[in-house]
Structure 1
Amino acid sequence: MTMFSKKSTVTALSFVLASSLLVTACGKKDQVVTAQGGTPEVTELRYQGSVGAVTYPELAEDLGYLAPLKLKFIGNTISGPQDIQSVVTGDTDFGGAFNGAIVKLIAAKAPIKPVISYYGVDEATWTGYYVLDGSPIKSAKDLIGKKIAVNTLGAHHEFVIKEYLHRAGLTAEEIKQVTLVVVPPVTTEQTLRAAQVDVASLGGVLRDKALERGGIHPLFSDKDLFGIFSAGSYVLTDKFIKNNPNASRKFVEATAKAIEWARTTPREEVVARYEKIINERGRKEDTSTVKFWKSTGIAGKGGVISDKEFDTWIHWLVDEGVIKDGQLQLKGLYTNEFNPFATEKK
């Protein structure tokens, strides 16, 4: 899952039943999932996936947490901004992106609401900006006139790169001379090794797979700059939430439970489950990257969103001149109302 990898990160959500729902999880014991609320108003949720990866809504469906809702796959994406735009246009029911990209879209009057975190940065899961061993690039100043591979523009990688350049003291004119090149995450490593770009954004399993082959090292990382945090959220439209409150709750509830399943289950079991899901869906995908999965990277239990995960980017966009000071208020920007973990005592 790529972020800041969807980095590697990428994109999906969760919902709710009237009574207790008995499901069988991947562990050794059956688990009873208690749903709060009424029967979902819809029967399926349209979404975009990610090649060779498993999203938490997909995991939730496979574990039985999402029933009776079903997911309807409509294609893959490598772009968080594109994914949430598809939600706005009604082509999908949920999508996910870097929180800074979500803030920009909300500032543009998009009627969307972040409802649960789905990727982030921790000690095991983060994105590095890699150069080849022997590269003359040693500092931010050396990036002037160079090319950096990113999965999409206007999202996690662009925010992190610009922050790195700002902190190093580069001027606005110098930053403009650093070129961001959109490259699919699965081919980013190859593009760097072929010297088609000077720096490659690599996170999660794609980073670890590349490091296993050697010959590269990081110039900087998002963890170096921002520490541990949840970086992206799934969104629903305001209209969808209003018309489908039970389905909205079920979606978030199921996704939250899947996140915690992945967080608390032995890594080998999580990897095996991901391989099973990828093989059974029959999209002719390579399962080798999921063998490197280490953690969810999500800061809040069950994907609960915190104020700082949006407040940081509101201030960043104000400083960048992208939005005006006071244009957006943190209150009401996102919601944890459907997340069953939001009420747990800290």
Structure 2
Amino acid sequence: MRDPNTTSPFTARRRALVAVLCAALSLGACSKDGPGGGHGSGDRGADDHEVLELRYQGFAGAVSVAELAEDLGYLAPIKLSYVGNTISGPQDIQTVVTGDTDVGHAFNGAVIKLIAAGAPLRAVVGSYGVDAKRWSGFYVTEDSPIKGARDLLGKKVAMNTLGAHHELMLKEYLSRQGLTSAEIAQVTLVVLPPVSAELALRQKQVDVAVLGDVLRDKALERGGIRALFSDHDLFGEFTAGSYVLTTRFLRENPNTARKFVEAAARAVEWARSAPRDEVVARLRSIIERRQRNEDASVVTYWTSMGVAGRGGLLSAKEYQIWIDWLVKDGELKAGQIKAEDLFTNELNPFAATQVR
């Protein structure tokens, strides 16, 4: 197992594969089989789990559903193997396709685009979402002249990555307010790490910054900012992101895949039902023990995983929203992909309780 304190071990060859993948995605083409079938598929344990180690990327200062599941003991005997951090969901699931990691998660819109481009992925369980407690807002300074959508023409909006949750939320807001595609294109998107967005906003380097969860609450405590809108304002409660595995991994490692989904599902429900103080204490402990030079204090602002479906169950409507948007935006053709082909709930133990 790799030393968790080391930086990402991606080789030059793997980096080249990611570059090739990104180029393929821009052309709407990608191998149907591709890499990413998992590693060590011959390492069968006594309990018939085909793979006993799952490589993944982390997010600085945050604890994912998978990390929580492992800490709760739900994933045993399978262990997670940390290979480095990312700030981008699309990049996280690209590394699953290239075989640099075994499991990753991203905004459902990004999952759709990657699969539509030919990536052999399936979403298997919800990873995060939006609810009344967990949401992201688009903020301006108190003295900003920006009051509505049309005021954003020619302005700069900071977000963590392009082609994902925040970009589509911004476009949805602008579209609902009557802006045309040509007008929406006049809004400049600036990629910044989430931890840098607030400072960039206050220093007038950008006009709007996306702030969510802990970063939002800490910024609001300091004052001097106000919200234009939030993703919760637009869509209410919904599962926004999913964990993905390659179809090859699902085929070759069915027991390991089922164990991962079961563990994640149980972790979602534990976080939903446990007292908040208990959840916060465990999240803080996870961050402190993994020793990645992070600030564990931010988890004191934790409120919810935001996952809507019980045990992270996925629903077609949560994908159809983004399919419709991508068709409207010209990134997909009508009928190019069906929501039901993007995900599976077959491995989730809570599927039997789902209302049909």
Aligned to 1:200: 209
Q: Which residue of 1 aligns with 2:31?
A: none
Partner Cα distance (1:118, 1:85) in 2:
16
**Matched letter for residue 132 of structure 2:** E
Pair 1:124-2:117 in alignment:
no
**3-state DSSP class of the match of 1:201?**
strand
User: Which amino acid in 1 is paired with 2:264?
Assistant: T
Which residue of the other structure, out of 152, 157, 160, is the alignment partner of 1:151?
160
Q: 1:215 aligns with which of 224, 239, 259?
A: 224
Separation (CA, whole Å) in 2 of partners of 1:88 and 1:163: 28
1:88-167 matches, within 5 Å, as 88-167=97-176
Are 2:342 and 1:336 aligned? no
**Match in the other structure for 1:17:** none
Q: Does 1:301 align with 2:317?
A: no
Given the alignment of the two structures, is residue 78 of structure 1 paired with residue 87 of structure 2, yes or no? yes
Matched position secondary structure for 2:351: coil
1:226 offset after TM fit, Å? 1.0
Unaligned runs of 5+ in 1: 1-37
What per-residue deviation string (whole Å, max 9, x for no partner) do you get for residues 87-122 of structure 1? 000000011111011111111010000000111111
* Structure 2: runs of 5+ lacking an equivalent: 1-46
Q: Which residue of 1 aligns with 2:190?
A: 181
Determine the C-alpha separation between the residues in 2 that align with 1:134 and 1:49: 36
May I ask how many residue pairs the two structures share in their alignment?
310
Q: What is the alpha-carbon distance in structure 2 between the residues aligned to residue 198 and residue 323 of structure 1?
A: 30
Whether 2:279 is the aligned partner of 1:265: answer no
AA at the equivalent of 2:177 = A
Question: Which deviations, in whole Å up to 9, do the C-alpha atoms of 1:49-81 show, x marking residues without a partner?
Answer: 000110111111111111000100001111011
Distance 1:143 1:345 in 2: 42
Q: SS in structure 1 opposite 2:340? A: coil
Corresponding residue SS for 1:331: helix
Instruction: Give distance in 2, aligned partners of 1:336 and 1:118.
Output: 13
1:45 aligned residue: 54
**Superposed displacement of residue 39, structure 1:** 2.3
- Give 2:332's aligned amino acid: I
- What SS does the aligned partner of 2:63 have? coil
- Partners in 1 of 2:117 and 2:289 — Cα distance? 40
2:249 is the counterpart of 1:240: yes
Deviation at 1:251, TM superposition (A): 0.5
CA distance in 1, matches of 2:157, 2:135: 17
- Equivalent residue of 2:50, what SS? coil
Partner of 1:280: 289
What SS is found at the alignment partner of 1:343? helix
CA distance in 1, matches of 2:342, 2:59: 26
Deviations 1:279-336 (A, max 9, x none): 0001111012110001111100110001111111111111111111111122332100
Relative contact order higher in (CA < 8 Å, ≥ 6 apart): 1
AA aligned opposite 2:218: K
What corresponds to 1:57 in structure 2? 66
Partner of 2:238: 229
TM-score w.r.t. the length of structure 1 is: 0.88
Q: CA deviation at 1:193?
A: 1.1
Give the letter aligned to residue 167 of structure 1. Answer: R
State the secondary structure of the residue aligned to 2:353. Answer: coil
Percent same amino acid among aligned pairs?
Answer: 64
Q: TM-score, normalised by structure 2?
A: 0.86
Look up the equivalent residue of 1:306 and give its one-letter code.
S
SS where residue 128 of structure 1 aligns? strand
Aligned to 1:171: 180
Structure 2: how far apart are the matches of 1:277 and 1:311? 35
Q: Deviations over 1:105-161 (max 9, x none)?
A: 111010000000111111111110000111100010000110001000000000000
The residue type equivalent to 1:210 in the other structure is A
Distance 1:268 1:335, change over 3 A: same
Runs of 4+ that moved beyond 4 A:
none
User: Equivalent residues in 2 for 1:310-325 (5 A)?
Assistant: 310-325=319-334
Secondary structure of 2:339's partner? coil
Q: Aligned-pair distance for 1:345?
A: 4.8
